[in-house]
Amino acid sequence: MNIAIIAHDSKKELMVQFCIAYCRVLSQHNLIATGTTGKMVAEATGLSIQRFLSGTHGGDQQIAARIACNEIDLLLFFRDPISAKPHEPNELNLLRLCDVHNIPVATNIATAEVLIHGLERGDLDWRNIVNPKA
């Protein structure tokens, strides 16, 4: 499966720790991420991650385009719900696209844990029917 990873600045370290904890599961999938988050996770875990631009420079929009083309199967997006972000409309568009294309999305570590365990059990294998790999 294609898993996208995004984290706000205040949540990047949490994302790194999450990816360290679930490195074995994540290593079995294709990972893409916004620039800084992807760099931090790759350095901490050794996982191979396709990196786009940083979120503030359009990386979240690059991932949104992949979602719109049904090329993402799962989004892990650790958001900071307290601090307002200047590019928040882009983030809302990203979440809306996940809803339109039935992409499972986690915006916090609690939901990410549920999704990663479901991924490990095969609960998300239905995505292979929706988005068959050649």
Among 9, 60, 73, 99, the one annotated catalytic: 60
Residue 90, pLDDT > 90, answer no
Output the pLDDT for position 20: 98
State the fold for domain 2-130.
Answer: Rossmann fold (3.40.50)
Distance CA 75, CA 66 (A): 11
Show me where the domains of the chain are located: 2-130
- 134 pLDDT exceeds 80? no
Residue 107: pLDDT band by 50, 70, 90 thresholds? very high
Q: Distance between the two ends of the chain, CA-based, in angstroms?
A: 12
Structure pTM?
0.92
What pLDDT is recorded for position 5? 98
Q: What is the pLDDT of residue 72?
A: 95
Residue 49, beta-bridge partner list: 31
Q: Count CB atoms within 10 A of the CB of residue 96.
A: 12
Partner residues linked to 75 by β-bridges: 4, 105
Question: Alpha-carbon distance 41 to 32, whole Å?
Answer: 11
Confirm whether 123 is a catalytic residue: no
CB-based contacts of 21-28 (< 8 A; 24+ apart in sequence): 22/116, 23/47, 25/116, 25/119, 25/120, 26/116
Read off the pLDDT of each residue in 78-95 and give the average, rounded to a whole number.
79
